[in-house]
Chains A and B, each alone.
Chain A
Amino acid sequence: MKDDVVKRLKEVEEKLQNQVQIPPEDLVFLFGLSLIKDKSGEN
């Protein structure tokens, strides 16, 4: 999954750099990624 995440993130970042509006499916991806990274309650 890690490789797929890196690839997808690169695609989203390219869209953002080109100032293209990101579609809802990309927002779902960013939400999912943030949820994985979120360590707020683990210490």
Chain B
Amino acid sequence: MKTEGTFGVVQLTRLGDLIQTHQAVTDLKLQHPDVKVKLIARSDFATPLLFLLEKSFDEIILINRDELLQASDDNLGKYLEGLNDWLNQPQLQGIDVLINLSFCETSNYLMSLIKAKNILGTHIDEHNQTRVNDQWSQLVYSMVMGGPNCPFHLVDISKNILGLKHRQNWEHAERVVGSPETIALHPFASQEKKYWKPQKWSEVLYKLLKESEGVSIKIFGSQKEAEMAAEILKNPSMKRYQDRIQNLVGKLSIEEVFHEFKSCSHFVGHDSALGHLAKEAGLATLTISMGTVRPIETTPYGPNSFVLSPKTKCFPCFPKTECSFFQCHADLSYQAVTEVIRGFVTEDDINYENLKSKVSPFHLDSLSIHRFGPSNTGWYAAQNIGDQTATFKEIIRDIYKVALTYKMEEVEEVLSFPKIDQKVFDKLNHINSGIEQLFQLCEFGKKYSKDVIVEISGNNPSVEKIKELGNKVQEIDQLMDLLNNAYPELRPITDFYKVIKSNLYGENVVEISESNYLVHNDNSVLCSLLYELINNTVGSTEGRKNKQEFTKEGNA
């Protein structure tokens, strides 16, 4: 079916988010070439990426805060006048669908100021409350903002918000190998939690260059990162290999970096915008994820993507979580990381059997390696490399993915049953008790919402009775909060429904009660799905247990 119209995409956040927005919109344009797409972005982030963004967007509208402030002469009236002029520009008129893909406060306000026939994503209403009406944005607002349990990649979510059903267009992306065994290295990131100290990188590079004669390295980064790059290279052990390392940190613009990437074969780095840029340039990527990084959501989107992450209990953490020790940094040993990089660059793959023969289990057991690719339904998904037992976090995230995919798209995601140990087995059984209680609460929610409708439709409705029933519905919300304390793993689901409930459709008590009934009904169905999935996972393990095939940890 031919789709026409003008989309306005608001993306006010950083370079990496802009590149991922570009990737989602590229697919939108491939599937619906007649749709016109305008990007509304901050000039400081979008300007360096114009060479890329102009390929996917028909029009790019930039807001320059510093210019607006400068022109205001420190006068609030003038500043607001400048903002009004910017908002009234003709390019911001005639938008059919306005979509917020940045989920930040500034973009929420902007969404309420640009006129559009339809709005998708978070926006602010006339009471200064954040509103979000579409299902996929509600999922971002609850699951992505609320914790690390979102089972979907952000580009996939953006595509769903944009209304795309097919998610595999990136498979046709071209793989680029400039010079073989040449690494584009970006050993930095925006936050201290997300990158190793220079000393550790010196150790990795020394070992890698010493033991792999054909490998050469180009280091990339911004001017701000030049000092750290110098520190990596000043290490005396590096002197012998200076001719195989090219330090390009702070010397190239983003566009020049993009073109220089094409002279390399593989990208290695922490989670940062350059990883996304390398994927756009066609390189195979290996991301070393630590700290706050959520690989499922932000791994460079495209073929030939690998992620190395620690199995540290608190990984991934929140940006505000205080940490001075950085256990997750220590859990990725330089010995293991070097071997993983060597396989990735010299064999163009990561072979777990090879790793086991070269790296001590002590180092290997504390990390996870994932290869990313499309699942049967086209989700960008992580596949565990090796014979490792799945962690509880991975299992519960997969279960959420299967249940949510079915609920939101009526499509079955097919995953094989994971290997689990006794601890995970017990935890899953425990969670199922929580799901039973959540199901009962939803059933009560349905009953009370229905009772309100019945009471109002009667001949002599009692206001007192309706109030009483309304209070009972509220009690259910409070009980869900208590359930969260006992079963924190259920928070993604209860938070999701809290967001849906706070955006209920309805102009009067009957309509709101009807919406409330539907939300509780939906939640009941989701609980049934989760219950069944967990039961089947546990059941499959019990079957294996009976056959003496329980994992090492399970037998211990």
Contacts and interface: CB of A to CB of B under 8 A. Distances in A.
Interface of A: 1, 4-5, 8, 12, 16, 19, 21-22, 24-25, 27-32, 34-36, 38, 40-41, 43
Nearest to B112: A27
Contacts of A38: 12, 65, 104-106
A7 B195 CA distance: 42
A35 B15 CA distance: 17
Interface string B115-157: 0000000001011100000000000000000000000000000
A1 B113 contact: no
Contacts of A16: 127-128
Given A22-B128, A41-B45, A28 B106 contact: no
Interface stretch (B70-78, B387-395, B489-497, B505-513): B70-78
A40 B127 contact: no
B113 A8 contact: no
Nearest to A29: B80
A32 B113 CA distance: 11
Nearest to B124: A27
B13 A41 contact: yes
B173 interface: no
Would you list the 6 A-B pairs with minimal beta carbon distance, nearest first? A31-B109, A4-B76, A21-B126, A34-B106, A1-B74, A41-B14
A32 B69 CA distance: 10
A14 to B, nearest CB: 12
B191 interface: yes
A36 to B, nearest CB: 7
A5 B80 CA distance: 11
A25 B524 CA distance: 43
Interface residues of B, number: 34
Contacts of B83: 28, 31-32, 35
B42 interface: yes
A21 to B, nearest CB: 4
B477 interface: no
B323 to A, nearest CB: 17
B80 A28 contact: yes
A43 B190 contact: yes
B107 to A, nearest CB: 9
B85 to A, nearest CB: 11
Interface of B: 12-15, 42, 44-45, 63, 65, 68-69, 72, 74-77, 79-80, 83-84, 87, 104-106, 109-110, 112-113, 124, 126-128, 190-191
A36 B110 contact: no
Contact of B113 (A19, A21, A24, A41): A24
Contacts of B79: 1, 32
A21 B13 CA distance: 28
Contacts of B106: 31, 34-35, 38
A32 B3 CA distance: 35
A2 B265 CA distance: 52
Contacts of A27: 109, 112-113, 124, 126
Given A30-B109, A38-B106, 16 more contacts: A4-B76, A21-B127, A22-B126, A22-B127, A22-B128, A27-B126, A31-B110, A32-B79, A32-B83, A34-B105, A34-B106, A35-B83, A36-B69, A38-B65, A41-B13, A41-B44
B258 to A, nearest CB: 19
Nearest to B83: A32
6 contacts: A1-B75, A4-B77, A8-B76, A31-B106, A35-B65, A36-B69
A28 B190 contact: no
A29 B128 CA distance: 12
A16 B12 CA distance: 26
A24 B109 CA distance: 10
A36 B65 contact: yes
A30 B191 CA distance: 28
Contacts of A30: 109, 124, 128
A10 B105 CA distance: 19
B100 to A, nearest CB: 13
Contact of A19 (B87, B124, B127): B127
B20 to A, nearest CB: 15
A28 B13 CA distance: 19
